[in-house]
Amino acid sequence: MTQSRAYHHGDLRRALLDAAVEVMAESGPAALSLRDLARRAGVSHAAPAHHFGDKAGLLTALAAQGFELLAEALRGAGDDLIDTGVAYVGFAVRHRAHFEVMFRPDLYRADDPEVAAARTRAGELLRTGVARRTGRGPDVDALAAWSIVHGFATLWNSGALPPRVGPDPEAAARTVISRLFP
């Protein structure tokens, strides 16, 4: 993970990633500008290139971080399938910027080995979570479960859901997932 010790800036790589998350969380991925991130970090406009190569490189790092955060969230949800689904939604809402990048492969290098590894790790957790519950071939159940939580999270984040769903995404998600796995 390119662990960098303290250098000129302190930890520019991390600062840039954090700033990117902040910008995207409030203005969406389209508003992201490397030069703006550099300004926020107090460095020159070309400094980001040294750590990430280009914009896609920065987003690749963000995606990898995102898949790791997702795996962490899923692990923390325990053994219950419903809880795992709720955790997926919770991750998407809480780490909206990461989530949006992760599933937009045109923005980053999806074949990056680090990203691929993290993605596989998170995918394993999802599938074992489903297999633990349902006796049948996990294929359909896993796909249905993934679809329903991913869809709910995406719709919630895009603001497409009507207000009567309520203010708490995780509570609403629990209800919805329970409809699939009663």
Q: Which of 22, 26, 27, 35 binds DNA (CB under 7 A)?
A: 35
Closest residue by Cα to residue 38 from 56, 51, 57: 51
CA 148-118-145 angle, 5° bins: 15
In whole angstroms, the minimum distance from the beta carbon of 181 to a second copy comes to 10
Choose from DNA, a second copy, none: what does 28 bind? Cβ within 5-8 Å by kind: a second copy
Query: Does 44 sit near DNA (CB under 7 A)?
Result: yes
In whole angstroms, the minimum distance from the beta carbon of 138 to DNA comes to 40
Fill in the per-residue mask, 3 to 32: x = in contact with DNA (CB under 7 A), - = not in contact.
Answer: -xxxxxx--xx------------------x
Q: Which is nearer to a second copy, 31 or 117 (CB)?
A: 31
Distance in angstroms (rounded) separating the CA atoms of residues 74 and 58: 24
Q: Which is nearer to DNA, 7 or 163 (CB)?
A: 7
Distance in angstroms (rounded) separating the CA atoms of residues 47 and 143: 42
Q: Which of 18, 25, 29, 51 binds DNA (CB under 7 A)?
A: 51
Q: Which is nearer to DNA, 56 or 110 (CB)?
A: 56
Q: Which secondary-structure segment (H or E) carries 75?
A: helix 55-75
Query: Does 112 sit near DNA (CB under 7 A)?
Result: no
Distance in angstroms (rounded) separating the CA atoms of residues 56 and 49: 10
Choose from a second copy, DNA, none: what does 134 bind? Cβ within 5-8 Å by kind: none
Q: How many other CB atoms sit within 10 Å of the CB of residue 31? A: 10
Q: How many other CB atoms sit within 10 Å of the CB of residue 22? A: 13
